[in-house]
Amino acid sequence: MSELDEFDRDDALLARLRAIDPASDLPPADPSRVARLLEDTMATDRTEDLHADVHHYEPPETREDGTHGRGLLTWIVAAAAVVLIAGVGVFGFLRHDAGDEVPSAGGDPTVTQLSAPAATSGKCMVPSARILSTQAIAFDGTVTDISADLVTLVPTHFYAGDATDLVKVQADPEVMQALVGAVKFQDGGRYLVSATDGRVTVCGLSGPYDARLAALYAEAFPG
């Protein structure tokens, strides 16, 4: 052995490399198998694989051509998703609005309470739009119930006063009888009724709906 060979040989380094070699415990590979694998590797034609790779290469999409070549089914699915999302949003919006307008379940109807005017022997003034316009309450409604001391109406339009679900006129039977006679209240009839200070006004300012009285109300309450 030459001096150069002795210089290049480092037994300690070789021992350390063998110690960390993960395959050091395995038996030596069969020389004939190693030679065959090397021969197969060198002889394999990679041209076909390269052609296959080139054939299947797809360039990355850009914003300009990203939608080219997509199938009809893709567009149908996308459109259906958009319609579904929009429909849910509209449904939720409409449901929210409807909830704001529907009265709470079990709520009592609002009522305007009126009474009959006191009986008087004085003469009535001629009905006019000027006098009618001073009334605090005026409405168009239908009688739904008449009893000895109560008349109930369902208003369809308020000319004056706060709108409510019902209007109830209550008084002692004698006074109510006079009022019913003056206004001619009948069950199921339509009426134009005015009131001030919580009392129904008579003398032609309240009565069955007709063209003359409707014109008087329209003139008194043009809004």
pLDDT band at residue 90, thresholds of 50, 70 and 90? very low
pLDDT in tens, 30-82: 777 766 766 665 665 554 554 554 455 455 555 555 555 555 555 554 555 54
Q: How many CB atoms lie within 10 A of CB 110?
A: 11
198 pLDDT higher than 50: yes
Residues making up the chain, counted from first to last: 223
pLDDT band at residue 13, thresholds of 50, 70 and 90? confident
Would you say 160 and 221 are in contact if contact means Cβ atoms under 8 Å apart?
yes
Q: Which domains does the chain have, with CATH numbers?
A: 111-220 (2.40.50.120)
pLDDT in tens, 98-130: 433 333 445 899 999 999 887 665 677 889 999
Q: What is the pLDDT of residue 11?
A: 76
pLDDT band at residue 165, thresholds of 50, 70 and 90? very high
How many Cα atoms are found within 13 Å in the side-chain-facing hemisphere of 180? 21
Would you say 116 and 171 are in contact if contact means Cβ atoms under 8 Å apart?
yes
> Pick from 151, 197, 153, 212: which is nearest to 178 by CA?
151
How many Cα atoms are found within 13 Å in the side-chain-facing hemisphere of 39? 6
Read off the tokens for 7.
Answer: 């210089």
Lowest mean pLDDT among 18-27, 93-102, 186-195: 93-102
pTM recorded for the entire structure: 0.52
Q: Are β-strands 190-196 and 111-115 bridged in parallel, bridged antiparallel, or unpaired?
A: unpaired
Q: What is the pLDDT of residue 28?
A: 66
Q: Are β-strands 166-170 and 111-115 bridged in parallel, bridged antiparallel, or unpaired?
A: parallel
The helix (H) or strand (E) run that includes residue 199 is strand 199-200
Would you say 206 and 193 are in contact if contact means Cβ atoms under 8 Å apart?
yes
**Per-residue pLDDT averaged across 125-150, rounded?**
95
Q: What is the pLDDT of residue 223?
A: 75
Q: What is the pLDDT of residue 102?
A: 34
Query: Distance (Å, rounded) from C-alpha 114 to C-alpha 164?
Result: 12
**Per-residue pLDDT averaged across 191-208, rounded?**
94
Per the rule left: phi > 0, alpha: psi between -120 and 50, beta: everything else, 188 is left
